[in-house]
Amino acid sequence: MVMTAALTPQILADPVALTRALVDIESVSGNEQEITDAVEAALLAAGQLSVSRLGNVVCARTDLGRPSRVILAGHLDTVPIADNFPSTVAGDLMYGCGTSDMKSGSAIALHLACTVSSPEYDVTYLFYDCEEVESERNGLFKVSQQQPDWLEGSFAILLEPTHGLVEAGCQGTMRVIVRTHGTRAHAARSWRGHNAIHDAGEVLRRLSAYQARQVTIDGCGYREGLNAVRIAGGVASNVIPDLCEIEVNFRFAPDRSEEAALGHLREVFAGFELEVTDSAPGALPGLDRPAARGFLDVVGETPVGKLGWTDVSRFAAMGIPALNFGPGDPNLAHKRDEHVEIPKIRTGADLLRRWLTTAPTT
């Protein structure tokens, strides 16, 4: 049994020590109460913040009368442990479940909340649960339904793993089932039926020939993708099948709405039955906002488009531009050997501190 480290002032003052302390609190999705209790206690002890809680979501806010408000958000849950708990350190690498995705990022946000007493922006810090599971359980989704005022601001940063790069906006995602229909028959008399699996060949041909669109928005490149991810069909080895289902995932650039994305899929699969099973909009970069420009000036790196979906989409849906920035490497997320580079934690914390304490440009 791992003893949970108390989030003492000494630990809170060091984002690396704080990362390790959070990693050593097991918080697989649905089991976040212990880590949420620890985070809430640390924020309450900081003194300069207004702290609220909804289930296993904690919101901490400054109310300094600044002309703009920014949001730093990070989820506290992880995927299931895979022989990678508790944390270990080897040189400049910290190993453990959640080190990359995204307790190192959440640790930076908590570190700043407890140590930056007079930022140049008013700041909302959000720590939430159930990001790694279905959308309706996601803590930010619950906040958007029950406490939408917590999400109000002019700009948001989600501390998802980006390996220290600025990944602006995000792609939208849509899953659909494309169905082909036939007529059942005995396989010995196949001419009396019509094989639905054979008809799936035309769906796959269209997918194989598909040319993915590439688009640049605010200098950030987004490449779309349309791919079959699962196929199912067949009744028995002696039956001509009357149904085949191809699951298709469409990752679309944020200049397409969900309605436009669906319209595009209907064009691609014209003549076939199509059912949407999951959909989430993308998020435009919004890098022209003053807070965003100030952050980019501090980072000094050219932003890139986020090739994937993240919770920045939830902010974009409310008209709040958002980007992704965190120390973890997204390619290591969910892996048994998940780890984070310790220097990336320190650099990320320093950059965000400089941004919060630098007067915003007008």
**What's the pLDDT at 3?**
43
* Average predicted confidence (pLDDT) for the chain: 94
| pLDDT of residue 5 exceeding 80 | no
> Per the omega criterion (within 30 degrees of 0), is the bond before 86 cis?
yes
Phi, psi (rounded to 5 degrees) for 305: -75, 145
Domain architecture of the chain: domains with CATH: 9-170+283-356 (3.40.630.10), 172-280 (3.30.70.360)
**What's the pLDDT at 292?**
83
Residue that has been written with the tokens 């409310």 in this structure: 318
**What's the pLDDT at 212?**
96
Average pLDDT over residues 240-269: 97
Phi, psi (rounded to 5 degrees) for 317: -65, -20
Average pLDDT over residues 26-33: 97
Our CA angle for 11, 12, 15, nearest 5°, is 85
- Residue 119 in contact with residue 62, Cβ under 8 Å? yes
**What's the pLDDT at 274?**
97
- The token pair at 180 is 């082909």
The amino acid occupying position 18 is L
Q: What is the pLDDT of residues 269-313, one digit of tens each?
A: 999 999 999 998 999 887 888 888 889 988 888 899 998 888 999
β-sheet bridge partners, residue 52: 59
| pLDDT of residue 49 exceeding 80 | yes
- Between the two ends of the chain, the Cα-to-Cα distance in Å is 52
- The token pair at 290 is 């003053």
| pLDDT of residue 2 exceeding 70 | no
- Catalytic positions: 77, 131
Q: What is the pLDDT of residues 309-335, one digit of tens each?
A: 889 998 888 888 889 999 999 999 999
Distance CA(306)–CA(154), nearest Å, equals 20
